[in-house]
Homo-oligomer: A and B are copies of this chain.
Amino acid sequence: MSQPGRRTQEWDVRASTLARNTHNLIRSIVENLTVEPNPSKPFIALSVGDPTTFGNLNPPEQVLQAVRESIELHTSRGYGPAKGHQEAREAVAEYSAHQGNVTAEDVILCSGCSHAIELVISVLADSGQNILVPRPGFMIYKTLAEGLGIVIKYYKLLPDKQWMVDLDDLENQIDEDTAAIIVINPSNPCGSVYNKDHLNEILDIASRNRVPIIADEIYEHFVFSGNEFTAISSLSKDVPVLTCSGLTKRFLVPGWRLGWIIIHDRHNILGKEVRNGLANLATRILGPSTLIQRALPAILKYTPQSFFDEVVLFIEVSGRFHETTIPNQAKMAYEELLRAPGLRPIMPQGAMYMMIEIKISHFPEFKNDLQFVERMVSEQSVFCLPGRVLNRYLKKPGLRPIMPQGAMYMMIEIKISHFPEFKNDLQFVERMVSEQSVFCLPGRCFEYPNFMRIVLTVPEDILREACQRLVIFCKEHIDIGEKCKEIDNN
């Protein structure tokens, strides 16, 4: 303690260490974009993970109705308990039964999943301790931890193995100061979905090393056909798991700021201290709006499964789910296409997407699959861009898209050495804004340079337009050598 004494010098007010060390890379890039888009082309933002941006995806009527009814309730205006209203927590417990044995006592409501993450990080880690974060990964962890002096250590994901965890690297990162392992599944930005075996491998490491897991499952159930979502908590035998989720993505209401923590602790390892610690932290700002809390039971109960299915299908395939005749269309298209020389349609497994092999040598008009797909797309075919087709479409010299299995993003590698004009991913995406008015998040937002992330929740025609511009941009900037190779190859 310093001595009492007047401060009569000049004014000198500094920002705290916490404030100076809090950086939200996505927000600062998105909210402070200085590059002007090309005025001749309408701006297309494939940047923020906000499925509501374009107006094509809307929360179901049941969700809106639940809030309409909540407004009229006298009890939707007063303070709630710091952890949230009992009925709302019970509803979350029931909704989350797939995660394991969950009761209202295990649930803490938060102001968005970000706030849930803030609480779980800050209950487990002290200044000087570290948390292990996947790279590439959503960087809210860095934003929230570094200001508090909590160290971020990265473990690798393997782009060539559908972004699975590099298990050796993960285990090597653990040290005596490791307070938690973060597992983001399904992943932002990778769109990967881990199967049970892989989740068990991660749990084994956590168990052997006695490190609790923070499971960021805000994209729970967002999985494309052929994949299955498993909550890591449901597989854990001993490892305490703090799961963070919320309404944000699945119910298409990111702005409502309704998230939650679920405490999974079968062997009572966290004990009273961590539970009380979370309860203490919840009293700082008193959780989410009670207007939404009161609507929560109805939201979770009455939203029909068909709504979720349609949204995921849209993301996987493209935005045609309003046409209920689609499955038939797909079948019809399949049969039509069977007759088309040079094409080999593969009947969709799930409901609505279709892979088509293009026997390119049969189409002398087109030099390559890109030209083919471009023409096909411009003629408004029933085949749509996102998912597998998008993946193919963008597989151009200089770019390497990696097919997602869930969530709502796709990562695209930028082979930056092929673009001599650009030093890094940031320069690449900035120039893309100024020339093509298309804005993707640079990989550095995920601590993963020379990638970019696009969102898949965009309406089909806009996404197509954006991808076409993206391909033009690459063609214009790729170095001569690669251009020649491309021509040679065809």
Partner of A283 from B12, B16, B143 at Cβ < 8 Å? B143
Task: Produce 1/0 per residue, A177-212, CB < 8 A to B.
Answer: 110000000000000000000000000000011111
Are A255 and B122 CB-contacts (below 8 A) given A13-B240, A13-B270, A291-B291? Answer: no
Q: Give residues of chain A (7-26) contacting chain B, Cβ–Cβ below 8 Å.
A: 7-20, 22-24
Contacts A5-B176, A18-B122, A76-B255 supplied; 8 other A-B pairs, CB < 8 Å? A6-B174, A11-B210, A13-B269, A19-B277, A22-B283, A24-B284, A50-B79, A291-B291
Question: Who on chain B is nearest to A151 by CB?
Answer: B1
Contact A52 B71, beta carbon cutoff 8 Å: no
What chain B residues lie within 8 Å of A5 (beta carbons)? 175-176
> Is residue A252 contacting chain B, with contact meaning CB distance below 8 A?
yes
The answer for the CA separation of A278 and B50 in the assembled complex, in Å, is 23
Question: Who on chain B is nearest to A273 by CB?
Answer: B15
Among A111-119, A382-390, A406-414, A425-433, the stretch in contact with B: A111-119
Chain A residues engaging chain B, CB cutoff 8 angstroms: 1-20, 22-24, 27-28, 31, 48, 50, 52-53, 55, 58-59, 64, 67-68, 71-72, 74, 76-82, 111-112, 114-115, 118, 122-127, 143-144, 148, 151, 171-178, 208-212, 238, 240, 252-258, 267, 269-271, 273-274, 276-278, 280-281, 283-293
What chain B residues lie within 8 Å of A144 (beta carbons)? 284
Q: Which 8 A-B pairs have the closest CB atoms?
A: A255-B290, A19-B277, A15-B277, A24-B283, A52-B78, A22-B280, A115-B285, A11-B269
Contact A126 B16, beta carbon cutoff 8 Å: yes
Contact B3 A255, beta carbon cutoff 8 Å: no
Contact A277 B20, beta carbon cutoff 8 Å: yes
Are A114 and B285 CB-contacts (below 8 A) given A16-B122, A16-B277? Answer: yes
What chain B residues lie within 8 Å of A209 (beta carbons)? 6-8
What chain B residues lie within 8 Å of A257 (beta carbons)? 111, 285-290
What chain B residues lie within 8 Å of A2 (beta carbons)? 175-177
Contact A255 B77, beta carbon cutoff 8 Å: yes
Contact B50 A255, beta carbon cutoff 8 Å: no
Partner of A82 from B31, B281, B284, B291 at Cβ < 8 Å? B31
What chain B residues lie within 8 Å of A277 (beta carbons)? 15-16, 19-20, 22
Question: Who on chain B is nearest to A82 by CB?
Answer: B27
Question: Who on chain B is nearest to A123 by CB?
Answer: B19
The answer for the CA separation of A76 and B63 in the assembled complex, in Å, is 13
What chain B residues lie within 8 Å of A72 (beta carbons)? 64
The answer for the CA separation of A118 and B58 in the assembled complex, in Å, is 33
Query: Which of A7, A12, A79, A124 has the largest count of B CB atoms less than 10 A from its CB?
Result: A79
Contact B71 A67, beta carbon cutoff 8 Å: yes
A163 to chain B, nearest CB (A): 24
